Structure 1
Amino acid sequence: MLPWKRALRPLAALLLAAVATAVPVATAQAETQAETQSASAANRGWNDYSCKPSAAHPRPVVLVHGTFANGVDNWLALAPYLVNRGYCVFSLDYGQLPGVPLFYGLGPIDKSAEQLAAFVDKVLAATGAAETDLVGHSQGGLMPRYYLKFLGGAAEVHTFVGIAPSNHGTTLNGLTHLLKYFPGADDLLTTATPALAQQVAGSAFLTRLNAGGDTVPGVRYTVLATRYDEVVTPYRSQFLSGSDVRNVLIQDLCPLDLSEHAALGLLDRIAFHEVTNALDPAHATATTCLSVVG
């Protein structure tokens, strides 16, 4: 695929989101879909509210999906991977816009963080745990930082793993710089898909979130990035600065790993192995190309 065609894919996603807000969908359909997804997750072993954390894995893991994704499809590989290793695993849908049931993670990120806070409280109450661990992909690796910094989440979270997170925003390979040449484009993004506008590098949201430092005391951070990320660019903007941070470029562990933005969170077992190392560093093992079969 030509580089310019690859670069246009994220921009097409932006346009899709804007158009989606104009499509009327019945509320009943949205509720039915949410119920079906929740049942689907429980049938695969996660979102089981009877699960009690073990001594080996004393904290439940909450998975936070990315933009346009949902709490089931984003985790069809990672959630069972963790469940099979003895973790209590939960996932949520967040950031739904009125009349848009098929896409999540589009609403204002601060409001999505409030939804995450309520979900974490629900998980802690059900499991009896004092803290949880968070694993997020893309926006899911950014949004919880608002919860940690402004909504008291640091008291309830031990470890936070961001997979290809939009921590300092994205330029979409420079495409966001073109918005200024299209009158009203910024306003359209902000109105139609607030979360997308907030993830553009230099946004007011990101300026506030990152002011005074990327991290908060008491939380252990791991960031997993791929050099082939075409959505959150430049890829090094994903890394965090601060105490108790581990930034990992997946190709430093396996040069043969060609995962791009989506695949890193959806399919990449090398990244999954690093997730388990972050969740249980006392029993971490070396991550190599062979981790794909581990």
Structure 2
Amino acid sequence: MLTPRQKLLALLTLCLTLLAPVPAQAATAGPAAARNPVVFVHGYNADPGVWGSLREDLRADGYADSELFSFGYDTHQSVNEVLSGRLAAYVDEVRRQTGAARVDIVGHSFGSLVSRWYVKYGGGTAAVDHWVSLAGPNHGTSTAWACALWDQACRDMTPGSYVVKNLASGDETPGAVKYATFWSDCDEVVNPDASVPLAGALNTPVGCLKHNDLLGDDATSAGVRAFLRS
């Protein structure tokens, strides 16, 4: 049993503890980890709306909408003569808006060729930190022959095309850019499946997923986000 004096001392001690200032180290949060804005490049016959799931996952990881950008473009045009130059201008604008020295690029399917040409031949090695390809026909796909007679982008995706040969020549992953690919062994669009991986990249098999399913697959998303943090 506490005496009245002991009770008073205990109460005063409790009050002083609650009123004591929080140490500066505990009160001050550490600086946020530096990260690059992300530029998404969709695939053939698609639009920026395909990135909804991955954008949501990145927002859950702490990215702001002001750090996530989607490059929209006419997918029936030439990779090397038109689209890679337009992507270069878009990336320059993203860097100007954000003040970032470099961006990360995530491309799906045909967007992988557009963004690779920009990195390799359009000055992108100085502006891109991480480059990711989801189901990209990086060495061409035989399914593109179905529309190659009338569509330039399809011709660019055929095995042995001018674009495919030049991207494969010399170093497939040039510069200080970090490269990653994610590929499925059940891809109905990219044929053969081995077209996706690149020499010098982190090449990750995702199992049996359809071509567009990589866009919403949780494990693939986790792999992409871990790579962007590397």
2:224 to 271, 275, 281: 275
Counterpart position of 1:233: 191
Contact 1:92 1:119 in 2 (8 A): yes
Asked if 1:210 is matched to 2:168, the reply is yes
1:129 to 72, 90, 100: 100
Amino acid aligned to 2:228: L
Contact 1:228 1:259 in 2 (8 A): yes
Instruction: Give identity over the alignment, percent.
Output: 36
Query: How far, CA to CA, are the matches of 1:124 and 1:209 in structure 2?
Result: 25
Counterpart position of 2:56: 80
Spell out, residue by residue over 1:56-92, the C-alpha distance to the aligned partner (whole angstroms, 9 max, x if none). 2421010110000112x21111112112212221101
Question: Which secondary structure does the structure 2 equivalent of 1:142 belong to?
Answer: helix
Question: Normalising to structure 1: TM-score of the pair?
Answer: 0.64
2:206 to 250, 262, 279: 250
Amino acid aligned to 1:106: H
Asked if 1:149 is matched to 2:120, the reply is yes
Asked if 1:259 is matched to 2:209, the reply is yes
Amino acid aligned to 1:273: A
Counterpart position of 1:19: none
Counterpart position of 1:7: none
Asked if 1:108 is matched to 2:78, the reply is yes
2:71 to 83, 86, 92: 92
Query: How far, CA to CA, are the matches of 1:272 and 1:130 in structure 2?
Result: 25
Where in structure 1 are there 5+ consecutive unaligned residues?
1-53, 97-104, 180-184, 252-257, 282-294
Query: How far, CA to CA, are the matches of 1:106 and 1:262 in structure 2?
Result: 19
Question: Normalising to structure 2: TM-score of the pair?
Answer: 0.81
Where in structure 2 are there 5+ consecutive unaligned residues?
1-30
Query: How far, CA to CA, are the matches of 2:60 and 2:98 in structure 1?
Result: 18
Contact 1:57 1:86 in 2 (8 A): no
Counterpart position of 1:16: none
Contact 1:64 1:141 in 2 (8 A): yes
Amino acid aligned to 1:91: S
Query: How far, CA to CA, are the matches of 2:99 and 2:59 in structure 1?
Result: 18
Spell out, residue by residue over 1:131-153, the C-alpha distance to the aligned partner (whole angstroms, 9 max, x if none). 10000100112211100111101
Question: Which secondary structure does the structure 2 equivalent of 1:76 belong to?
Answer: helix
Question: Which secondary structure does the structure 2 equivalent of 1:207 belong to?
Answer: helix
Counterpart position of 1:20: none
Query: How far, CA to CA, are the matches of 1:57 and 1:233 in structure 2?
Result: 38
Query: How far, CA to CA, are the matches of 2:72 and 2:93 in structure 1?
Result: 14
Contact 1:133 1:157 in 2 (8 A): yes
Counterpart position of 1:59: 36
Query: How far, CA to CA, are the matches of 1:131 and 1:62 in structure 2?
Result: 11
Asked if 1:69 is matched to 2:46, the reply is yes
The alignment's C-alpha RMSD in Å is: 1.6
Question: Which secondary structure does the structure 2 equivalent of 1:55 belong to?
Answer: coil
**How many corresponding residue pairs?**
196
Counterpart position of 2:157: 199
